[in-house]
Amino acid sequence: MPFERNDGQYCLPCLAEPPIHDGIRAAVAYGDISRQVALKLKYGGKIGMAAMIAKYLRRHLPEDRTGLVITPVPLHWTRLWSRSYNQSALIGRALAQQNDMTFIPDLMVRQKRTPLLRGMSGKQRQKIVSQAFAPNPRKIDYLKDARILLVDDVYTSGATSNACIKAMKRAGADWVQLFCWARVLRDESQGVIGLDSALD
C-alpha cells in the first residue's frame, strides 16, 4: 500500500487472493540506492552490508519472538559454490546474532537449479520455481508447527519466496513471514523486473 496501514488491513489483490505468506517486511523500497546495496552484497563481496541490513530489519521483528526461527531462501549448491556465500544467509545470521534468536541456515534446500528470471512474467517465474524447494530431510522436525522468518535480499515478484514458503507449510510450518532488504513496489515493478531479476 502507498501509505502506512494497521495490522489486519489488506490491499484488494490480497483480499481477492489471500497470499500464502504471513506478511512481508522490507527495510526499504527498491530504488537506485537500495539496488546498489543489494548488488554490493550479492556480487561485490561487501559482506559487511549484511549486518547493516539486519539493523534496518530489526524494527520489524515481532514483539513475541517465542520459538521464532530465522532461515534464508536457499541457493542451489552450484550457485553457492560459484559465489562462495548466500547473501540471504548472511543477512539472516546477522539478524539472529544481533537479537539473540535462533538461526538455521539449512532448514530448506534448493533441489533444482533454476535459470535467472530476467525478463520473465510472474506466471513464468512461478512455474519455473514451483518445485525448486524442499525441506532439508535432516531438519524437517524443526518445521512442525514452526514460526519462521524467511530472509531474502530483494522481493520482486514473490515467485521465489512463495515457492519456498509453500514447501515449508506443506512440511508443517504454522507461520512464515518474509523479511527482505528491499521490496519492489507494485506500480514500479514493470520497469525493473527485466533489468534486475537476478536479484529475485
- Establish if 79 belongs to a structural domain: yes
**Average pLDDT across the chain, whole number:** 84
**Does residue 192 belong to any structural domain of this protein?**
yes
CATH number at residue 189: 3.40.50.2020
Domain membership of residue 10 (yes or no) is no
Does 120 map to a domain?
Answer: yes
Domain boundaries, position 53: 21-199
Question: Tens digits of per-residue pLDDT, 48-82?
Answer: 999 999 999 999 999 999 899 999 999 988 888 88
Per-residue pLDDT tens over the stretch 104-117: 999 999 987 775 66
3-state secondary structure of 17: coil
Domain count of the fold of the chain: 1
List the one residue out of 116, 154, 119 whose CA is nearest residue 37: 154
Q: What pLDDT is stored for residue 194 in this prediction?
A: 36
> Does the pTM exceed 0.75?
yes
pLDDT < 70 stretches in the chain = 1-19, 115-128, 186-200
Report pLDDT for 197: 39
Judged by DSSP in three states, 19 sits in coil
Cβ neighbours, 10 Å, residue 190? 9
